[in-house]
Amino acid sequence: MGFLPGCEPWHRGRAAGRDGGADEGEKYPMAPGGIQGYGHAFVFSEDQKLDWCNMLALGVEPAFIRQPKLWPTTPAKFKETLERYSAEIRGLCRRLLAHIAETLGLAPGTFGDMFGEAVQAVRMNFYPPCPRPELVLGLSAHSDGSAVTVLQQDMSCAGLQVLKDGAWVPVHPIPHALVINLGDSLEVLTNGRYKSVEHRAVTNSEQDRLSLVTFYAPAYDVELGPLPEFVTDEVPCRYRRFNHGEYSRHYVTSRLEGKKTLEFAKIDQTTTTAPEEPCSCI
């Protein structure tokens, strides 16, 4: 699979202003505090050190989350290409979730049935070469607020790293391979059996880098909480129940700071007194 032909030139050439024209991205600005459009997301203060990344972020499904004015009109096939790509990735996410359910001893349709009309968003991250890569990250450490994330990265250089056993491990691009990250929804639903992966992107001084990322998450009105199968005497309920839309809002209004966002849902395990009501799970 190519790197989304038809969309890449927009991002790599035009958005960076290197075709001699105006920066196309300025036509689709991400509003302050917004999450769709072109610019910097997760910026909440003027003195915040910005990540070395320009992103074009677009809600794709369901249709009501789309902001058509923020969809680039050049190249002409941008919309058609992104829609075709997104439909394929949507099918892939559904299949992945069915297999993930099976690995957990659940019926394959468990997540599909639960997620309703799943939310799908895409982000094209562009990391320009950075003269001092040791001073700034391309994208700060975080876990994704999705259930699964499908990531396509530039073949020309590595940049993605995952945190494994306390060390940052590079995820080297493999030709024709997609990277699948588990997101926070699955960590909550499995009561921590599966963990959302903490990851970040680093920059380099030599080359720019692109990544194309699809986030696939439950519909906003879905209530999440650990499934009863994963709550036992040995593994008590670690997350409270919450509405996914509520979590999404919390996620996009918080800085990227490791897995801190998930604290929103965590039950404090250090309390020794029994909760007044037993943990109510789905």
Ligand X SMILES: O=C(O)CCC(=O)C(=O)O
Residues in contact with ligand X by CB under 6 A are 123, 125, 139, 144, 151, 153, 159-160, 199, 201, 211, 213
Backbone angles phi, psi at 210, to 5 degrees: -125, 145
Q: From the list Fe ion, ligand X, none, which binds 191 (C-beta under 5 to 8 Å, kind-based)?
A: none
DSSP 3-state of 89: helix
Give the count of beta carbons closer than 10 Å to the beta carbon of residue 175: 6
Q: From the list ligand X, Fe ion, none, which binds 7 (C-beta under 5 to 8 Å, kind-based)?
A: none
* Strand locations in 159-234 (E): 160-164, 167-170, 179-182, 199-202, 209-217, 223-224
Q: Which residues would be at the binding site for Fe ion (CB under 5 A)?
A: 144
| 226 contacts 267 by C-beta, under 8 angstroms | no
Q: From the list ligand X, Fe ion, none, which binds 123 (C-beta under 5 to 8 Å, kind-based)?
A: ligand X
Nearest residue to ligand X by CB is 211
Q: From the list Fe ion, ligand X, none, which binds 159 (C-beta under 5 to 8 Å, kind-based)?
A: ligand X
Q: Which is nearer to ligand X, 241 or 255 (CB)?
A: 255
Q: Which is nearer to ligand X, 77 or 164 (CB)?
A: 164
CB of 179 to Fe ion, least distance (A): 10
Rounded distance between C-alpha atoms, residue 196 and residue 65, angstroms: 24
Q: Which is nearer to ligand X, 11 or 238 (CB)?
A: 11
Distance from the Cα of residue 231 to its chain's centroid: 26
Task: Using DSSP bridges, classify how beta strands 242-243 and 209-217 pair: parallel, antiparallel or unpaired.
Answer: unpaired
Q: Which is nearer to Fe ion, 153 or 190 (CB)?
A: 153
Rounded distance between C-alpha atoms, residue 218 and residue 124, angstroms: 21
CB of 133 to Fe ion, least distance (A): 19
* 145 half-sphere exposure, CB direction, 13 A CA radius: 27
Q: Which is nearer to Fe ion, 51 or 144 (CB)?
A: 144
The DSSP output letter for 256 is -
CB of 56 to ligand X, least distance (A): 11
For residue 61, what are the β-bridge partners?
A: 120
Q: Which is nearer to ligand X, 178 or 267 (CB)?
A: 178
Rounded distance between C-alpha atoms, residue 211 and residue 11, angstroms: 10
Q: Which is nearer to ligand X, 97 or 139 (CB)?
A: 139
CB of 39 to Fe ion, least distance (A): 17
| 143 contacts 197 by C-beta, under 8 angstroms | yes
Rounded distance between C-alpha atoms, residue 68 and residue 142, angstroms: 28
CB of 110 to ligand X, least distance (A): 25
Q: From the list Fe ion, ligand X, none, which binds 146 (C-beta under 5 to 8 Å, kind-based)?
A: none
Q: From the list ligand X, Fe ion, none, which binds 211 (C-beta under 5 to 8 Å, kind-based)?
A: ligand X
Nearest residue to Fe ion by CB is 144
CB of 50 to Fe ion, least distance (A): 17
Long-range contacts of 165-173 (CB under 8 A, 24+ apart): 168/200, 171/199
DSSP 3-state of 198: coil
CB of 142 to Fe ion, least distance (A): 6
